[in-house]
Structure 1
Amino acid sequence: MSSEYNYDPDAQFFPFFVLTITSLVTFPLTYTLLRAPTTTTGASSKASHITSPYQPEHAEIIDAQRAKQKRKEVRLKRMLTAGTGWLVMAYMVYLVYVTARATPTVWNPYDILDIGMSASEKQINSRYRRLSVTMHPDKRQPDASRNETFDMVNDQWVEIVKAYKSLTDEDVRNNYIQYGNPDGKQSTSFGIALPKFLVSEGSGKYVLAFYALLLGIGLPWLVGKWWYGMQKMTRERVLVTTAGNMFKEYRERMDEGDVVAAVSSALEYKDILHGAKEQGGLGKLEQRLEQASAETGMLPKDKKKLDDLDDPVRRKTLALVWAYLNRLDLDDKSLEAEKYELAPTVLQMNEAFLSICLAYGFTAPVLASYHLSQALVQATPPANRLPLLQLPHFTPTIIKQIEQTTANGKKDHISIQSFMALPAEHRQALAQAAGLTNDRLKVAEGVARQLPLLKVEKAFFKVQGERYIIPSSLVQFVVKARFIPPGTTNIPDVDEKDLLDIDPAEGDIQAQKQEQEQHPVPLAYAPHFAKDRSPRWHICLVDNRQGKIAVPPFTFPSFDKKPFNEDGTPTFNVVTLKMQFQAPPQAGEYKFVMQMMCDSYMGFDYKQEAALVVEDVSKANEVDDDDYISEPEEDSIAGQMAALKGQPTASDERPRKPKREGKRLQAKREEDESDYESGTDEDEESESETDTDTDTDDE
């Protein structure tokens, strides 16, 4: 047996090879592009923008960084690589389809003799005799119209003889069965998946070297880089080392400054501050912070943390974050660009740190993380919270002057909704006294009237399909609210029917479809944040006595009803927010505080007391008279008509309405002996106490 090496001059195998190699790269790359991002700093494609002619200082730098962030989100290089891969794969499939028709088929004696595989030896002999009459070279002349020659006729007859012998001669037949050829074992041919022109004229060794580098080094390196890159990332899309660093910074009691220091320990900032940027301008930056120390609102402990850092990247990161939050003019374009470029990454790290805080469940770090998120989006000091600073043309000096005039003994800073609730003449007088012109005030008021302020109308607990809440049942905390921007006038009264939460009937596809349909709110108005941001609302139940989160936050990026019209005006629709959790295992009254936070706007948070009443199983099994529908008396007209129709009447003996015990008995079996202590002290800022409302039948 001889071995023969040959190339692929007809390009029969080369397309298969290229198709395989290209697919190994294109498929994983396409998956990463189509996979939904796990970070939550992005924006919904359906969301609108809040319109305003206001342009902040360094607007050109912010716009450039915003365009850079969009390019990162689009991932243009990956898209071009994946698109090229798909084009190459499509072309290879086309070549495979075209060349497959010219590829010779496997030698088959039954096809040559044109008989079935179940033919007997008699049928084979008969078929051979008939072909010898028409196909023998002595009895057949070449067909000139088909460009046949005598050699072609002889070759066809030789194939017929071989096919006949392979089916009748024992030795030839064994060769065909064992080796697939009547002539016996053939030479082995090794095909190289390269067109012959690539290896002609002495260039073959270079092409083979390229293939060796591609398959032996390039492809394993690419796959290994992708695999180990995935292993180095957490679910929040941050480095595992970063998560470990932030974990070390966690404390049970943290304020916004502590969270800023914790998120500055991430390693992701080295992608931004690399090379000459690590220490470039650090001295100038720290000097600027020192000069504005009275304005920044940095506490002494925050300054000490900055001074104690040795890592230049982390030190510069922390200084840039404080400069961004206080809107300090650094008088250096490169530092300004780095300041605005860092903010989206800091927000992503803060959301990863929030997951660590939620794992421990202490209230203070969680709220501090949410407040820092608001401050990062709006570029406002986290400690010295100035809600009016979110409006265009408002500065700390102007706000201070307005608050001094309207203080009335209050220590808190004035909110946007409080300012917009003032009479128009009063607002103008305050603005003019503080140095804000009427034109700029109108721009600020126009933005305020588009901000998505969510006002809670009603909140209650319920169990779907049940009248009472029993131990260990699945409880829904339902919040009914409306979007009413600050300064909105002519607000319609809420319809009491919209405040009910009637369970949809089983099989009501239309109602289920309406519940699943979601509508976004406009993108966050954040002229200083170099990335589009969709605001989200987070609702959790807090146990103030223990200082912990009783029910982790539920996030609501969109709502079941349209909050705003296309022109930006509110619809005043009552939206429904639901969070489901398991009731305590013991009957009793449990007091919580509902905390609702918006992660993109400062001063829009809301909280109120929420009392959960868990009834004993024995009481839940009691049947109320309201559960029964009385039947018509037999001697009445309605009773006689019911009797004619075969319906029951009051005199009929019929079984009582069965109790709804399925869910209750199941819950009772799940009841355990563990204690569930929960309670909250009364909060001075609570506006109302939440009722327990589970009577869906009456609704």
Structure 2
Amino acid sequence: MSGGFKDSFTKEDTKEDVLGYDDTAFYYFVVSVLTCIAVPWTLSFLYSLLTHGREADSEFPRRSSEFGSKYKYCQTAAMVEKVDKVRADAKRFTARTALIYLLQAVALCFIWACIFGTMTQLGHEKEIQKFDPFEILDVTPQSTGSQIKRAYRKLSLNYHPDKNPDDPLAASRFIQITKAYQALTDEIAKRNWEKFGNPDGPQTTKVGIGLPRFLLEKENHLMILCSFFFVIVILVPMTFICYYQNSRNFAVNGVMIETLQFLGFYIGESARAKHGPELLAACAESRSMGTKPWDNAHLKKLTGHVIEHKKRVFTFPAVMKNQYLVWAHMQRQRHLMSPELQRDLDDLLRHSMKVSQAMIEVACMREWFGTAQGMIEFRRCVVQALDIKSSQLLQIPNFTEKQVELCHAASPPIHSLREFLALEPDERRKLTQMSDTELLDVESWCGFIGETIVQASIATDDEGEIVCGDVATVTVKLFRKHLAKEEALGPVHAPFFPIAKFEEWWFFLVDSGAKERIVHFERVTETERCHEEKLRFQVTKAGENNLVLHAMCDAYAGLDHKVELTFHAHAEDELVRKMPVHQEDEDLDLQPTLFQQWMGDLKGDESEEEVGSGDEAPRGPRRPGRDMKKKKEEPEEEHEDEEDSDASSSGSD
């Protein structure tokens, strides 16, 4: 067999990749990839289809909280209707939801069809493509030499590289035909093929991920290049850029960066609850909602029914519209809104909790307690649909201005929510003059709100006295008396608010000076029966210190607590603290250190070498204090030795 023929089949030859090209590996690869995609996607699709409607459990959870406590729900008619409506809407298939499910089903059917078709194609393919010269030349084993030569000439003319210069498969086919002819005519090649399955002798096997045959066809090169260019140069960078642009627009708390910048610039120390509607309407989330052509016609129906307690500052159309909607919501004028305005209002209220929390945090960072208090008041007015100048009693179910007047005219008059909750059920029945059904809602609501006790104490860790410069700790204990053991408070009673809202408490430690400065603050989101929070701050003023702890609820007006804390802080030079020394530390101080022990061993070895078997035993290590004492005594001993030597010398003289 010629050497040139063998050189064309060496490992360095680039034509070896296309020689005897086999699509079987590609089919296995496609089936594996599609199966890895189809199986989890199908299971997820079926699970979401079977559990459709349970998304409402994230807002109104049926199960217990993370601490294992069972949620207690408000059983008023309005809240039961709200919860049932949310769960029913979650189960209903909207046009958008149905379209999403349909597209997923079509995609899954297409993927499974591809898997089935590929598996069918695998059934027609050979498991392993072997070198068979008879099959390559399309002759039988009984063919004569002339028939083999005739078949070789015919095929070699069809697949000669000169006739197919741009077809790599044709070139490889020609090499394979030549190799098959050599295997049937050359004795050495034939012997190698019969023994090793290859005319060149024993060969190594290469295994890799198969690629489809059409990638090597000339007419597909332009399409493959364009697809590669589109995916690598356009699709991947654009996906990354869109994701990056979307993520960089939001802060960690879910509020847009533009909103935080706006609030940081416009919120001042004089901002109060009446500024809240305009600040909410001017945030980036609100402005992105835009306006619609029919908004002016629909807003005219609210004219004369909505009162704005603050003069407008911003004249941007979307800000003016949303500000008007917020005031209408707080004054409970939703029934006058068109369905389009109600949807816009609900979208805005879904952003209101995050935005109002950002308002409070901006005020806290600047230590403005009055501003933070005003923003919390605005937050609970939004939750309860309560006007800024309205009575707290309108939070009670079925309460109108008539019941509020009856409470004010009572003896003694009832003005606050806490005073109303302190009444007995019979007293509330006589006072409100409601029907039995309405009174049942009122009693259910009172049992759900209940009584919350807040206690606070101040101390320093491991110290009996407080000294200027210490870090003091205010321990705040919140106890919901109306909850039973292993029970947590469920979503607040807010029938006018579109989403579920859980109760939160804000603890403010305020310096009761001329300017009420926030010393420390904490936001408590736990709804368990008992909760303990620690507020730590550094004492900076010596003498009498007067602090006030304000515990404010962000869901209901009238449940706030105020605890005064007074303590005396000593100056640093007034009280000198002695560090207590334990007996174990004193005993440990008497023990030699490892270095001293090591040095003592060395000295002991040196003394043994010098003295040998002398009278004095080697001394152990000494403590530094004793060594100093010994050094102080040495001069006196030397002085005594000198006197003795003088006396002996004088005596001898």
In the alignment, which residue of structure 1 is the partner of 2:73? Answer: 50
Q: Residue 620 and residue 328 in structure 1: after superposition, are their counterparts in 2 closer, same or farther (change >3 A)?
A: farther
- 2:457–2:475 Cα contact (<8 Å) kept: yes
Instruction: Kindly state the Cα deviation for residue 380 of structure 1 after the two structures are TM-superposed.
Output: 0.9
In the alignment, which residue of structure 2 is the partner of 1:478? Answer: 475
Of 444, 447, 456, 2:445 maps to 447
Q: Identity, % of aligned pairs?
A: 15
Across the aligned residues of Structure 1 and Structure 2, the Cα RMSD in angstroms comes to 5.4
In the alignment, which residue of structure 2 is the partner of 1:522? Answer: 490
Amino acid at match of 1:311: F
SS of match in other structure, 1:590: strand
SS of match in other structure, 1:610: strand
Of 369, 380, 384, 1:374 maps to 380
CA distance in 2, matches of 1:545, 1:263: 31
Of 325, 328, 348, 1:320 maps to 325
CA distance in 1, matches of 2:545, 2:320: 46
SS of match in other structure, 2:568: strand
Of 573, 577, 597, 1:621 maps to 577
Q: Residue 363 and residue 193 in structure 1: after superposition, are their counterparts in 2 closer, same or farther (change >3 A)?
A: farther
In the alignment, which residue of structure 1 is the partner of 2:355? Answer: 349
- 1:474–1:582 Cα contact (<8 Å) kept: yes
Cα deviation per residue 1:107-135 (whole Å; 9 max; x = unaligned)? xxxxxxxxxxxxxxxxxxxxxxxxxxxxx
Of 367, 375, 393, 1:361 maps to 367
Stretch deviating more after TM superposition (535-544 or 207-216): 207-216
Q: Residue 232 and residue 151 in structure 1: after superposition, are their counterparts in 2 closer, same or farther (change >3 A)?
A: farther
Q: Residue 49 and residue 613 in structure 1: after superposition, are their counterparts in 2 closer, same or farther (change >3 A)?
A: same
Instruction: Kindly state the Cα deviation for residue 604 of structure 1 after the two structures are TM-superposed.
Output: 0.8
Larger-Rg structure: 2
- 2:72–2:489 Cα contact (<8 Å) kept: no
SS of match in other structure, 2:74: coil
Of 256, 267, 272, 2:284 maps to 267
Q: Residue 346 and residue 578 in structure 1: after superposition, are their counterparts in 2 closer, same or farther (change >3 A)?
A: closer
Instruction: Kindly state the Cα deviation for residue 156 of structure 1 after the two structures are TM-superposed.
Output: 4.7
Q: Residue 288 and residue 477 in structure 1: after superposition, are their counterparts in 2 closer, same or farther (change >3 A)?
A: same
Of 301, 306, 317, 1:284 maps to 301
SS of match in other structure, 1:479: strand
Stretch deviating more after TM superposition (605-614 or 462-471): 462-471
Instruction: Kindly state the Cα deviation for residue 347 of structure 1 after the two structures are TM-superposed.
Output: 2.3
SS of match in other structure, 2:410: helix
TM-score, normalised to structure 1, is 0.56
Of 274, 283, 305, 1:257 maps to 274
Which protein has greater RCO, CA pairs closer than 8 Å, 6+ apart? 1
CA distance in 1, matches of 2:76, 2:486: 30
In the alignment, which residue of structure 2 is the partner of 1:534? Answer: 502
- 2:193–2:199 Cα contact (<8 Å) kept: no
Q: Residue 287 and residue 190 in structure 1: after superposition, are their counterparts in 2 closer, same or farther (change >3 A)?
A: farther
Q: Does 1:336 align with 2:342?
A: yes
In the alignment, which residue of structure 1 is the partner of 2:560? Answer: 605
Amino acid at match of 1:361: E
CA distance in 2, matches of 1:69, 1:552: 45
In the alignment, which residue of structure 1 is the partner of 2:533? Answer: 578
SS of match in other structure, 2:336: coil
Instruction: Kindly state the Cα deviation for residue 225 of structure 1 after the two structures are TM-superposed.
Output: 0.9
In the alignment, which residue of structure 2 is the partner of 1:681? Answer: none
Q: Residue 229 and residue 545 in structure 1: after superposition, are their counterparts in 2 closer, same or farther (change >3 A)?
A: same
- 1:416–1:448 Cα contact (<8 Å) kept: no
Instruction: Kindly state the Cα deviation for residue 528 of structure 1 after the two structures are TM-superposed.
Output: 1.3
Aligned residue runs from structure 1 range 89-238, under 5 A: 154=193, 156-157=195-196, 193=211, 196=214, 209=226, 212-238=229-255
- 1:471–1:616 Cα contact (<8 Å) kept: yes
TM-score, normalised to structure 2, is 0.60
- 1:391–1:447 Cα contact (<8 Å) kept: yes
In the alignment, which residue of structure 2 is the partner of 1:414? Answer: 415
Q: Residue 232 and residue 15 in structure 1: after superposition, are their counterparts in 2 closer, same or farther (change >3 A)?
A: farther
Q: Which runs of 5+ in 1 are unaligned?
A: 23-40, 105-149, 167-175, 182-188, 492-516, 564-574, 630-647, 649-653, 659-699
SS of match in other structure, 2:420: helix
Q: Residue 161 and residue 195 in structure 1: after superposition, are their counterparts in 2 closer, same or farther (change >3 A)?
A: closer
- 1:370–1:599 Cα contact (<8 Å) kept: yes
- 1:233–1:239 Cα contact (<8 Å) kept: yes
Q: Residue 310 and residue 237 in structure 1: after superposition, are their counterparts in 2 closer, same or farther (change >3 A)?
A: same
In the alignment, which residue of structure 1 is the partner of 2:622? Answer: none
Instruction: Kindly state the Cα deviation for residue 227 of structure 1 after the two structures are TM-superposed.
Output: 0.8
SS of match in other structure, 2:559: coil
CA distance in 2, matches of 1:194, 1:278: 58
In the alignment, which residue of structure 2 is the partner of 1:138? Answer: none
- 1:454–1:482 Cα contact (<8 Å) kept: yes
SS of match in other structure, 1:475: strand
Aligned residue runs from structure 1 range 420-459, under 5 A: 420-432=421-433, 436-456=434-454, 458-459=455-456
Instruction: Kindly state the Cα deviation for residue 531 of structure 1 after the two structures are TM-superposed.
Output: 1.0
In the alignment, which residue of structure 2 is the partner of 1:311? Answer: 316
- 1:556–1:577 Cα contact (<8 Å) kept: no
- 2:349–2:497 Cα contact (<8 Å) kept: yes
Cα deviation per residue 1:264-299 (whole Å; 9 max; x = unaligned)? 11121255555547656233334442xxx3xxxx42
In the alignment, which residue of structure 2 is the partner of 1:557? Answer: 525
- 1:374–1:600 Cα contact (<8 Å) kept: yes
May I ask how many residue pairs the two structures share in their alignment? 480
Cα deviation per residue 1:438-463 (whole Å; 9 max; x = unaligned)? 3312311211111153212x321123
CA distance in 1, matches of 2:540, 2:107: 57
Amino acid at match of 1:600: A
Q: Does 1:592 align with 2:547?
A: yes
SS of match in other structure, 1:253: coil
Q: Does 1:465 align with 2:474?
A: no
Amino acid at match of 1:254: A
Q: Which runs of 5+ in 2 are unaligned?
A: 1-12, 39-57, 66-70, 129-188, 590-653
Instruction: Kindly state the Cα deviation for residue 50 of structure 1 after the two structures are TM-superposed.
Output: 2.3
Q: Residue 269 and residue 155 in structure 1: after superposition, are their counterparts in 2 closer, same or farther (change >3 A)?
A: farther
